[in-house]
Amino acid sequence: MAAEQTFCTSFGLDLGGGAELPVLGVQNLEVAVKLAEHNTGTASDGSFGSKPVPGPRNGTVVTVDFALTKSRDVYDWFNTVNPKYNVGATEDPKDLTLYGYDGGTAVGLELVLEGAYPIRWSLSAAGIEEEGIMKESVDFVVTNVVQA
């Protein structure tokens, strides 16, 4: 007998302390990557070079879409100590939990993004949802994705 599947139409992101943010979309749950060094500085001021990206060195990239106003809450949550590389994150990865919903009803699906670390805030890729909501995507690298 096949295992029963749980379907959901939306997610909420748990930031702890009872705060849950609505998520507009989740992509790339199964795309494995290895993080490369990234370029820093500019050629004009002579500071151009490359540094390792802080956080996990390899893992899975998960893209999470938020309403633009809610993405600031995610930024603030990671930006607790010593902002690094203008992504507003500490060097300490955090576990994120996505809760599944069908319409407004919780369906019991929980995905834990273990060791999540933001590597890109795509303000430039902000789009407008059908409801007219501005959105921003955040790319997290995670060490593991588990269904709780």
The CATH number that applies at residue 86 is 2.30.110
Assigned domain for 133 exists: yes
Assigned domain for 55 exists: yes
Assigned domain for 90 exists: yes
Assigned domain for 4 exists: no
Instruction: State how many domains the chain has.
Output: 1
Task: Please tell me the distance from the alpha carbon of residue 98 to that of residue 49, in angstroms, as a whole number.
Answer: 36
Assigned domain for 137 exists: yes
pTM across the whole model: 0.60
Contacts (Cβ under 8 Å, ≥6 apart) of 18 = none
Tell me the average pLDDT of the chain. Answer: 63
If DSSP states are collapsed to H, E and C, what string results for the chain? CCCCCCCCCEEEEECCCCCEEEECEEECCCCEEECCCEEECCCCCCCCEEECCCCCCEEEEEEEEEEHHHHHHHHHHHCCCCCECCCCECCCCEEEEEEEEECCEEEEEEEEEEEEEEEEEEEEEEEECCCCCEEEEEEEEECEEEEC
Residue numbers of the domain that contains 64: 10-37+48-147
Assigned domain for 117 exists: yes
**Whole-number pLDDT of residue 138:** 78
Assigned domain for 5 exists: no
| Integer angstrom CA distances of residue 78 from 24, 35, 42, 43, 130 | 20, 19, 26, 30, 29
**Whole-number pLDDT of residue 80:** 57
**Whole-number pLDDT of residue 92:** 66
Assigned domain for 71 exists: yes
Report, as an integer, the average pLDDT of 43-63. 55
Q: Pick the more confident residue, 144 or 38.
A: 144
